[in-house]
């Protein structure tokens, strides 16, 4: 938050709880985030089990976690655009579409990595 002057361990402590609040907000307000969390709940353990090497395990789990990262950024972008105003504007629509495209690419990357690793 603006105006906070925490330093050291207090800053890390505050950042941790701000992050938890962000996860909670995404879970409460973003259906896509909930769906992707469920995908990770199944996919990450499965990727850790199916991977033959450490690199394969990291790739299979990492690309799924990357989807969550991109979804969180997209959700933050959409919330910011909505905060500015709900009226239709070309730039607002473009920003939301670009964020959606980023999520799509993250999902496509995940699918490609899973296919390439598992078909060997």
As a whole number of angstroms, the distance between CA 65 and CA 2 comes to: 29
**Distances in Å between the alpha carbon of 87 and those of 10, 24, 54, 101?**
40, 27, 49, 22
**HEC string for 24-37:** HHHHHHCHHHHHHH
96 near 77, Cβ under 8 Å?
Answer: yes
Smallest Cα–Cα separation from 40: which of 23, 52, 55?
Answer: 23
Catalytic residues: 71
Of 64, 76, 74, 89, the closest CA to residue 25 belongs to 76
């Amino acid at each position: 938050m603006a105006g906070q002057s925490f330093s050291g361990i207090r800053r890390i402590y505050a950042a941790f709880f701000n992050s938890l609040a962000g996860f909670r907000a995404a879970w409460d307000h973003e259906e896509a985030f909930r769906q992707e969390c469920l995908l990770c709940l199944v996919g990450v353990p499965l990727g850790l089990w199916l991977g033959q090497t450490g690199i394969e395990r990291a790739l299979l789990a990492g690309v799924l976690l990357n989807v969550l990262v991109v979804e969180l950024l997209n959700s933050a972008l959409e919330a910011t655009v909505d905060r500015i105003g709900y009226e239709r504007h070309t730039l607002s629509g473009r920003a939301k579409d670009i964020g959606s495209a980023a999520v799509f690419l993250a999902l496509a990357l995940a699918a490609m990595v899973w296919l390439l690793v598992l078909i060997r």
